[in-house]
């Protein structure tokens, strides 16, 4: 990201970097989060936990803000790959992990999440575990989700296991998964 910013500056270009665009938080608060809150309210569901895998963090932060307007006590879980945790001081590796997610390496933190760190619980899900979650959701619920969505679901499920009996949780599923993810899931 630093190199992209340097090139943009050197060439007189404008860099649109989603990882630091507050509009991403706003759109997910006003759209994604509002849609989830409306649906939960209509169903009479009062979740005690929210989980979302983190890429830029816009979806997680915005959705959590919207949900907490109605449920201030709702715990929000930031989900990262075990292979690339939040704030990892090491350089990123090419190890397989949930697509579209992960810490930035070198001790860097997602700029959209960093100001709110104390408002989130942090969870890590390994690549193989996420692939297992993809297969399980597909086999038992006939739902196709990406590895990052499976990671969010696994984290939300754990929050339910640890929370009040009969509770509810929300897991944000950003996609159905790529062909490559489903190939990896089938191979394991």
Residues 46-91: pLDDT tens digits?
Answer: 999 999 999 999 999 999 999 999 999 999 999 999 999 999 999 9
Q: Binning pLDDT at 50, 70 and 90, where does residue 21 land?
A: confident
For residue 17, the model assigns a pLDDT of 73
The predicted model gives 14-39 an average pLDDT of 90
The predicted model gives 19-43 an average pLDDT of 94
Higher pLDDT, 99 or 51: 51
For residue 120, the model assigns a pLDDT of 98
CATH topology of domain 18-36+45-187: Rossmann fold (3.40.50)
Q: Give Cα 105 distance to the centre of its chain.
A: 17
For residue 174, the model assigns a pLDDT of 87
Would you state the structure tokens that stand for residue 11, as one six-digit string? Answer: 């060439």
For residue 187, the model assigns a pLDDT of 78
Query: Is residue 172 within 8 Å of residue 67, measured between CB atoms?
Result: no
The predicted model gives 12-33 an average pLDDT of 88
Angstrom distance (rounded) from CA 165 to CA 53: 25
The predicted model gives 140-160 an average pLDDT of 97
Distances (CA, A) of 90 to 107, 108, 115, 119: 7, 10, 22, 25
Q: Binning pLDDT at 50, 70 and 90, where does residue 109 land?
A: very high
- Reported as a single tens digit per residue, the pLDDT across 152-178 is 999 999 999 998 888 999 999 989 999
The predicted model gives 29-36 an average pLDDT of 97
Asked if the model's pLDDT at residue 188 lies above 80, the reply is no
Angstrom distance (rounded) from CA 119 to CA 112: 13
Query: Is residue 81 within 8 Å of residue 54, measured between CB atoms?
Result: no
Angstrom distance (rounded) from CA 185 to CA 187: 5
Distances (CA, A) of 79 to 15, 26, 123, 140, 186: 27, 20, 5, 23, 23
The predicted model gives 91-117 an average pLDDT of 93
Angle ∠(135,140,141) on CA atoms, nearest 5: 100
């Amino acid at each position: 990201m630093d190199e992209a910013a340097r090139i943009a500056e050197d060439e007189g270009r404008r860099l649109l970097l989603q990882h630091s665009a507050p509009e991403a938080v706003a759109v997910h608060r006003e759209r994604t989060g509002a849609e989830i809150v409306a649906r939960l309210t209509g169903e009479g569901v009062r979740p005690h936990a929210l989980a979302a895998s983190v890429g830029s963090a816009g979806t997680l932060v915005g959705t959590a803000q919207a949900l907490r307007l109605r449920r201030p006590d709702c715990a929000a879980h930031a989900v990262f790959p075990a292979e690339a945790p939040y704030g990892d001081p090491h350089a990123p590796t090419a190890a397989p992990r949930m697509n579209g997610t992960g810490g930035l390496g070198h001790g860097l933190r997602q700029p959209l999440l960093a100001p709110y760190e104390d408002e989130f619980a942090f969870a890590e899900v390994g690549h193989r575990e996420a692939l297992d979650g993809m297969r399980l959701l597909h086999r038992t619920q006939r739902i196709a989700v990406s590895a990052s969505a499976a990671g969010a679901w696994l984290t939300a499920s754990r929050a339910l296991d640890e929370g009040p009996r009969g509770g509810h949780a929300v897991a944000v599923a950003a996609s159905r998964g790529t062909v490559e993810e489903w190939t990896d899931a089938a191979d394991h």
